[in-house]
Structure 1
């Protein structure tokens, strides 16, 4: 692994450890390393093995593959994911209620102005609306259209 990449990964590990308020000893104990080994990794001197990176990803709640590249991409916990799903469902239920109200309002407008409903075939509805003057026909007299050269 290139030295720069190991250095970037080490800085990410240190940043995540400090954000959580853990000492070198605390994190080292969680990933089954000595504090000296962890310090070497944080300083970019020692490259961690795959098992250590996997443990770091799990314990620090980040994606291990991204950590290898010196990037921090936090994993979403199941609790956060469930909360997000509940918010999305609430939002969609609100839209569904609004759409039903829009449908009711449309029916009232159709009744009030004598417009054809959605249950009428499209062709019949278009013809009826043309007759009532709600839609302009495409029939334009040729004389009224200017000719382009």
Structure 2
């Protein structure tokens, strides 16, 4: 006489693995916990009683196949959904496309420039077409060249 029925073993293992997933990153234990469900259902609803060694082997095979399929197909999409496609850039390359506020007029031409405030800091700025931009205007950063940024004017369609 066994201590636990097969389906009870898989149910307890599933719960333990889900609890482990809470404290570990990467969704590996979550995939393995999900893989416990097919053998759990097989053990609970299997119409024929089989001796334990055969029942255990079938359950292990179902678990192994489910775990492998979960790790190959489910885990990558879950990880991509949780963590996004890529890291958000926070350095100067990440400023490209950001909006900035002109705090010192950007003068005409490529010699004088002006200053814009973006992400709490001021940058020396030039308009890509050499046009003047007044104080208070909103601009978009299109390029970062060393310690200066190249901007274009943002049109407000109010």
With normalisation by structure 2, the TM-score equals 0.27
With normalisation by structure 1, the TM-score equals 0.29
Hey, which of these two has a bigger chunk of helix by percent? Answer: 1
Q: Which of the pair has the greater relative contact order for Cα pairs under 8 Å at 6+ separation?
A: 1
- Larger Rg computed on CA atoms: 1
